[in-house]
Amino acid sequence: MGITSSGNVSGIQERRRLSVQAFFARWEWVLFLLIAIVFTINANIAPYFLKPSVLFDMTFNFMEKGLIALVLTFIIITGQIDISVASNMAMSAVITSILYQMGVNIWFSVLLGLLAGTVGGFFNGFIITKVNIHSMVVTLATQSLFRGIAYVLLGDRAVTGFPVEFMNLGQGYVGDSPVPLQLVVFVILAVVCGLVLHGTKYGRYMYAIGNNETAARFSGVPVDRLKMVLFTLAGLVSAMAGILFISRVGVCRPDLGEAFLFEIVTIVLLGGVSIYGGEGSIIGVVLSLFLIGLTRYGMILVNIRAPVINIVIGSMLIIAVLVPKLTHFVARES
């Protein structure tokens, strides 16, 4: 009896030790360490970097990308991809701008812009689920479609002169604090996405689909319905990001966000989301967003040219793809 009890205690202690090791071996800790390093470098490059107003204002540069990255996380975890998010973002912003330019109330224009993005996302989901074409093929086509619509509607023109109350969406702060409204929107969406992914059956469904879609179907998971919802949601959030973007910069052009897709995908993959589906966390994506945001901001502080910045971000994407493969290889060999 004593031997059995001793064995049970030893087994519990071993499981606790392995659990602690697994917790601290998570990719999120690596991201946290890298953020601390980049933060320290930026603080030494520019002493004023540590001012709260500077730190908060820095987030203006990547909140729209962060919003889309949160929803794209869901899609990639299910083993899918949406290449059209940046183009949908531009189309929705252009529709909002054109309607306002035609004399439509700005808030009604915003509502119709959000509706346009949502319809675009629904169209993606419908083709993917009902026609059974892979999401990469479908969204590659709609990427050109949505961007083409933006160019047809606006041509080479730009829309400016938005009202002050609209500009406050992208440029405003919470009361008299230095906290941007965009950051608050992002935090709320991140918390909601985290709760859905890690605390509900729908989150479990996403992981199940990403790990084995066929098995998920046989287990009763509503695969097609969930895909439809996720792509529609991606359209809505892309439209929201586009509207926030033009309210921040004060101008709308059809080439809006053309370089966004590359960085958004990098944020998601560097955050630990597997490109093959079935793995990932919202906290990892949030940390990745701030890591890339801090890195880009630091390079801008020292006047590094845009092509060099793109090389660095591209290298991060390569690392994000290679690290999981190397980790699995090492684990298999050991």
Question: Could you tell me the end-to-end alpha-carbon distance of the chain, in angstroms, rounded to an integer?
Answer: 36
151-188 tens-digit pLDDT: 999 988 999 999 999 999 999 999 889 999 999 999 99
Handedness of CA 252, 254, 256, 261 (dihedral sign): positive
**Percentage, residues of the chain above pLDDT 70:** 88
The parent domain of residue 255 ranges over 63-283
Burial of residue 331 (CB within 10 Å: 0-12, 13-18, 19+) is: exposed
Q: How many domains does the chain have?
A: 1
Q: Is residue 179 included in any domain, yes or no?
A: yes
Average pLDDT, the chain: 88
Structural domain contains residue 111: yes
Contact in structure between 250 and 158 (CB atoms under 8 Å): no
**Residue 21, pLDDT score:** 46
Residue at 190 is within a domain: yes
- Is residue 3 in a domain? no
Instruction: Identify whether the C-beta of residue 266 lies closer than 8 Å to the C-beta of residue 313.
Output: yes
299 found inside a domain: no
pLDDT value for 24: 46
- For residue 68, the model assigns a pLDDT of 97
Q: What is the predicted pLDDT for the residue at 310?
A: 81
Residue 322 lies in a domain: no
pTM equals: 0.88
Tell me the pLDDT tens digit for each residue of 127-147: 999 999 999 999 999 999 999
238's tokens = 């892309």
Phi, psi dihedrals of residue 271, rounded to the nearest 5°: -75, 0
Domain presence at residue 188: yes
Strand partners, 252: 159
5 band by pLDDT with thresholds 50, 70 and 90: low
